[in-house]
Amino acid sequence: MASVMARTRARWRVAVVDDHGPSRVDVRAAVMGAGGEVIGEATRCADALSLVNETRPDVAIFAAGLPDGDGVAAAAAVTSATRCPVVLFTSHTRDDLVARAKAGGVMAYLLKPLRPPELAPTLDLAVARFAETRRLRQTLEERKVIERAKGRIMDRLDLTEDEAFRRLRRAAMDSRRPMVDVARALLVSESVPGDLPRI
């Protein structure tokens, strides 16, 4: 049973935001041809965020020009508000459009008219880049938490940076918890716990 489910799982679940009917038909056919599934479509910027929130796709494809606004701005809003990579779909290659797409967090770019063989590598790249960006962002946030906790230990216990780090690391090892979890717990407490081990 599990192997049947694995075979029927779509390569990607895709949301499409494009007001041009023939383009949507082409995208749908290319996604399905590459083993994916289009799980929702919208034609306006105003509906883009709710579409992505409701369908929770693996990736979204946005046209640059939409009847009620700028598809690049809508893509940027979706990228910052959700955990979904966005691919821009447009016939324009102007430098300013590419720069705005990049600044807005767009992960990849597809040119109209769609060439189906280009779709799969573009979507794979967008999903992979988005996941890597999220991992890097999470790592950076965790480092900030650890640095703040280390600073609190240094201030409260009058330790050097290395000594504070060793104490935090030892507490994580002794509790068998990730260092970032120990650091977060320390930061929400009013004071540095007295049971942080001495090294």
Domains and CATH numbers, the chain: 2-114 (3.40.50.2300), 136-188 (1.10.10.10)
Dihedral Cα 44, 88, 92, 101, nearest 10 deg: 100
pLDDT (0 to 100) of residue 9: 86
CA 187 to chain centre: 26
DSSP code, position 198: P
Q: What is the Cα–Cα distance from 185 to 179, expressed in whole angstroms? A: 10
Strand partners, 80: none
Nearest to 87 by CA among 124, 57, 62: 62
Strand partners, 62: 17, 88
- Considering only the C-alpha atoms of the chain, give the largest distance between any 2 of them, rounded to a whole number of Å: 68
Q: What is the Cα–Cα distance from 184 to 198, expressed in whole angstroms? A: 19
Q: One-letter amino acid identity for 44?
A: R
Q: What is the Cα–Cα distance from 155 to 44, expressed in whole angstroms? A: 53
Q: Which pair of tokens denotes residue 133?
A: 């960006």
Q: Within a 10 A sphere around the Cβ of 40, how many other Cβ atoms?
A: 18
Strand partners, 86: 60
pLDDT (0 to 100) of residue 80: 83
Q: What is the Cα–Cα distance from 100 to 107, expressed in whole angstroms? A: 12
pLDDT (0 to 100) of residue 3: 45
Radius of gyration over every alpha carbon of the chain, rounded to an integer in angstroms: 23
pLDDT (0 to 100) of residue 24: 95
Nearest to 114 by CA among 11, 15, 22, 12: 22
Low-confidence ranges of the chain (pLDDT < 70): 1-7, 190-199
